[in-house]
Amino acid sequence: METLSPRFTVGWLILTPGALFALVEAQEDPKSFICRHLKGDWGDVDPALWAANQYAVRHGERLLSVYHTRHGRTLWVMTEASRYATTILLPQEHPEGKESA
């Protein structure tokens, strides 16, 4: 079993309907994406967002990771600045969503 050294807390875990569909469709476990997020593997983000996430971990700001299911659907994993909740969602399910972060 892999040892997890979380860099921050995730609070409540929330899956939107679209993310749940994408995970079921790809037969993937949301825990694998949460584990990557907790370790600071931000996935497919540009260098500016990677640096912003590194800063956010230390200063309590919102975190955003971008991953892809086996079927190519884009998932966002977003932890609120308060660390109260972490949500797995499709980009189009977020008011500011777009296909690439």
Cβ-Cβ contacts under 8 Å for 19 (sequence gap 6 or more): 30, 75, 88, 89, 90, 93
The 3-class secondary structure across 59-97, one letter per residue, is HCCCEEEEEECCCCCEEEEEECCCCCEEEEECHHHCCCC
C-alpha–C-alpha distance, residues 78 and 42, integer Å: 10
Stated pTM of the model: 0.87
pLDDT in tens, 20-70: 999 999 999 999 999 999 999 999 999 999 999 999 999 999 999 999 999
Q: Specify the higher pLDDT residue, 94 or 70.
A: 70
- How confident is the model at residue 4, as a pLDDT? 55
Run of H or E including 15: strand 12-15
